[in-house]
Amino acid sequence: MDTDLLKTFLEVSRTRHFGKAAENLYLTRSAVSFRVKQLEGILGVALFERQRNNIQPTPAGERMLGHAEAVLTAWERAKQDVSLSQLQSTQLAIGAGPNIWDAYLQGHLQHLHVGLPGVALRTEVLPLTVMTRQLMDRTLDLAISFDPPKLDQFELVQLGQINLLLVSSTANLSAASIAPGQYVKVDWGTAFNIIHAQEYAALPVPTLHTSSARIALDFILNNGGCAFLPEHQVQGLLRDGQLHLVNGASAISRSVYVAYWAENDRLEQIQQAIRFLTDKKSL
């Protein structure tokens, strides 16, 4: 099968519009329509319900989404695997949410690169649902998250822990005195959201909601405000007086986990990578 058919199908699914998909893929609208019809002909089912200004996947189209993503991911990984240089013998695919990279993994990446000679790294920012599916499809080697998938076929290892501090650009501020427009809500996962709802329900409606600690930090440094951010990310700014701890706000701790398939043929490299990822000196 031509992988361009799958790419076109996914783009139409994402945009819900043949014209927009054509613009994004640098194709004509008729070419996009022809590719979708080709794929439907191969599969023998309709993938979209075509109504004016309302393109929706059929039940078969919804089921095809995961398969199309898995095939394209596997194909990209296969291309990289077979084109590895003589200095590289294998590839490790690591997936994590954006906040995992910001709060934990960024400081470990260089150690992985140096400490795993002969291993090419493939890193991706992915939602947990996609990471779980790719682990099951064997297209992802390591899935790192705050809320790990709890499936029997996966091995789970706790890598470490981060402390989230409620910090502000304003000194001598208490949680009760945070005004509307001053709070930035960072998504730190399910357990954080539960604690947040129990202990910080009185905080104002966020002026910004983001899944990236770096975006939140830049925003409050440029515009003022407060947010829960990793201790190691803000400790220098606290020392310099650019940020301040919010009075009376307790730190919230979050554990970082890695999930992997125990029968992976790259198990030796996976276990080596986990040893580097648990090294606190990397942070």
Confidence of residue 264 (pLDDT cuts 50, 70, 90): confident
CB under 8 A, 24+ apart: contacts of 48-55:
48/12, 54/16, 55/12, 55/16, 55/17, 55/18
Conformational region of residue 187, where left means phi above 0, alpha means psi within -120 to 50, and beta covers everything else: beta
At residue 113, does pLDDT exceed 90? no
Q: What is the mean pLDDT of the chain?
A: 87
Tell me the C-alpha distance between 147 and 237, whole Å: 29
Q: What is the pTM of this model?
A: 0.69
At residue 203, does pLDDT exceed 70? yes
At residue 165, does pLDDT exceed 60? yes
Q: Which pair of structure tokens corresponds to residue 224?
A: 């003022």
Specify the pLDDT at position 279: 67
Tell me the C-alpha distance between 149 and 8, whole Å: 30
Polymer length in residues for the chain: 283
Specify the pLDDT at position 205: 92
- Within 10 angstroms of residue 154's Cβ, the number of other Cβ atoms is 17
Beta-strand pair 154-168/244-245: antiparallel
With CA atoms as reference, report the closest residue to 140 among 94, 83, 197, 207.
94
Range 37-50 burial, b when 16+ CB lie within 10 A, else e: ebbbeebeeebbee
Mean pLDDT of 97-116: 84
